[in-house]
Amino acid sequence: MISFVKMQGNGNDFIVLDNGDGSFSSRALSDAAMRFCRRRKSLGADGILVVEKSVQADFTMRLFNADGSEGEMCGNGARCISRYAFEKGIAGREQSFSTLAGIMRAVVDPPFVDLSMGISSLSEGWYNRSVEAGDRIFQCSFLWVGVPHAVLFPEEQLSGEEMVNIGRALRNNTELFPDGANVNFVTPKDEGSIYSVTYERGVEDLTESCGTGSAASAVCWILRGGPVRKMAVVDVFNPGGINTVTLSFAENGRDVSASLKGRAVMVAEGFLLEENNKEML
């Protein structure tokens, strides 16, 4: 049996495993993600979060998407694993943890976690280009926020099926995005807030929420609006909840630092049973 905790951040749900003793290889964790994340046939999740030891920080976070691929970072997942580490005594209320995208820092105030996502280089992205997808032209920006995000600004309401088809087409457009990309659909909401729906690379579907997508959406929305203020706070409404993104733009205009605050909820705790995990052992 393998102990787990099921968690969700604004509907972006994860299975959290402790691999501090190194019992499970990367191959085993990838296989486990493909099995355990299946909806209806298993526990179901958008991905698996794994806690491992770190020599640079309090712990290491690893993310395995539902398709078995290992992701660099996930904002909602990072908040969830931060809350998990706090509740399990792995790290304190203020903590740091290693990811493939670098060192992240977080402050836990259950059920909220405020995640510092570090500095993103604006010069590595591109902004406000016309991009064709699904026989339509969209204004699009592209930015790395730990992981690659394409941000679209549709002028008309799109159905879920349309967003899936457009997201899938762009996610696999290697001429535009050699490493693939998450695809965000952003529309204005109230003053100081936007609505963002994300097609996630690795999940290969729309998700209830995306933390890095919320940050990318907020950055590209601010850059689209004209002269950039030094500080900006944007409430990003996802289908599953709200992420509050605080942005600090460097005076040189080349970098932005982002923090992401939202809920990280512990849903259930138990054991993954032998009948479904025997291939992992």
The residues carrying an active-site annotation are 74, 210
Cβ atoms of 64 and 28 within 8 Å: the answer is no
Instruction: Say if residues 4 and 270 touch (Cβ distance below 8 Å).
Output: yes
Contact call for residues 194 and 234 (beta carbons, < 8 A): yes
The DSSP-derived string for 205-227 is: EEES--HHHHHHHHHHHHHHTSS
Count, residues in the chain: 281
DSSP 8-65: EETTEEEEEEE-TT--S-HHHHHHHHHHHT-TTTSS--SEEEEEE--SSSSEEEEEEE
Q: How far apart are CA 78 and CA 9, in angstroms?
A: 9
Task: Please give the distance of CA 191 from its chain centroid, rounded to a whole number.
Answer: 24
Provide the 10 A C-beta neighbour count for residue 258: 26
